[in-house]
């Protein structure tokens, strides 16, 4: 009896289709072309973070993280080299902000007025209802309080360098604290306060507490949210 080579003559009686199937061993397994294309999240789905049946690309992951707004974002800056101050409405493209940092660099006014910071919402700047105080440190006897804004004490012909932190406590209630170096006294001015807005904070303004103009420095706003 003649011997046959495995995989050839032994398959001759099975028919062409069967021989092809058995001979290759993989012809009926799915290929990449047979698999369904993956479904990726849209930008809206990535930012919402609620869908659990779609894939996330690196771009969508970055958009989702950015939408959370965690950490600080750089907002608007005011040039205070002249004029009566101004209002920052760029709060880092964020809504429902939890933290505002106001950084002052070389800010000065033409006289002896204090600095005045006011917060606002879509209805405008709030100019009443503040509990605010500021002074030149414990035991100095130099202190002032104010109910029309968050006040920062001067002490006479000062340059202010430092920061004010604004933290949303609950709802639209904001608590403030500041710690700035003041050149006129060779020391620091410290203080704090609080105010409740009618809506979500979307603007911060700076002015002198009286009729003085600004004649130097700048104020930079940073904004952030807490996860």
Q: Which of 193, 202, 152 is nearest to 174 (CA)?
A: 193
pLDDT lower than 50: segments of the chain: 1, 3, 7-8, 10-14, 16-23
Summarised one tens digit per residue, pLDDT across range 21-54 is: 444 555 566 666 777 788 888 988 887 888 888 8
pLDDT at residue 223, rounded to an integer: 95
| CA-wise closest residue to 219 among 190, 188, 178, 183 | 178
Can you give the pLDDT at residue 113?
A: 93
Structure tokens at 93: 């493209």
At 43, is the secondary structure helix, strand, or coil? helix
d(CA 9, CA 219) in angstroms, rounded, equals 89
From CA 126, how far away is CA 196, in angstroms rounded? 9
- Write down the pLDDT at residue 27: 57
Please tell me the distance from the alpha carbon of residue 219 to that of residue 179, in angstroms, as a whole number.
14
**Domain limits of the chain?**
11-66, 71-225
Output the DSSP codes for 87-130.
EE--STT-SS--EEEEEEEEEEESSSPPEEEEEEETTEE--S--
Task: Please report the pLDDT score of residue 14 as a whole number.
Answer: 46
Of 108, 125, 134, 93, nearest in space to 197 by CA: 125
Q: What is the pTM of this model?
A: 0.72
């Amino acid at each position: 009896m003649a011997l046959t080579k495995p995989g050839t003559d032994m398959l001759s009686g099975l028919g062409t289709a069967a021989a092809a199937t058995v001979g290759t061993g993989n012809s009926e397994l799915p290929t990449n072309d047979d698999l369904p294309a993956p479904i990726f999240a849209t930008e809206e789905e990535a930012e919402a973070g609620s869908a659990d049946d779609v894939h996330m690309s690196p771009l969508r992951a970055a958009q989702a993280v950015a939408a959370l707004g965690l950490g600080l974002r750089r907002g608007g800056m005011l040039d205070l080299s002249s004029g009566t101050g101004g209002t920052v409405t760029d709060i880092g493209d964020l809504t429902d902000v939890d933290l505002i940092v106001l950084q002052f660099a070389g800010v000065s006014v033409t006289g002896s007025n204090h600095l005045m910071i006011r917060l606002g919402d879509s209805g405008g700047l709030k100019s009443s209802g503040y509990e605010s105080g500021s002074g030149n440190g414990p035991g100095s006897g130099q202190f002032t309080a104010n109910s029309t804004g968050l006040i920062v004490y001067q002490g006479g012909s000062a340059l202010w360098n430092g920061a004010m932190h604004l933290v949303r406590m609950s709802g639209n209630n904001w608590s403030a604290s500041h710690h700035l170096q003041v050149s006129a006294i060779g020391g620091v001015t410290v203080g704090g306060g609080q105010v409740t807005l009618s809506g979500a904070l979307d603007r911060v303004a700076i002015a002198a507490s009286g009729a003085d103009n600004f004649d130097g420095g700048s104020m930079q706003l940073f904004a952030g949210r807490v996860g």
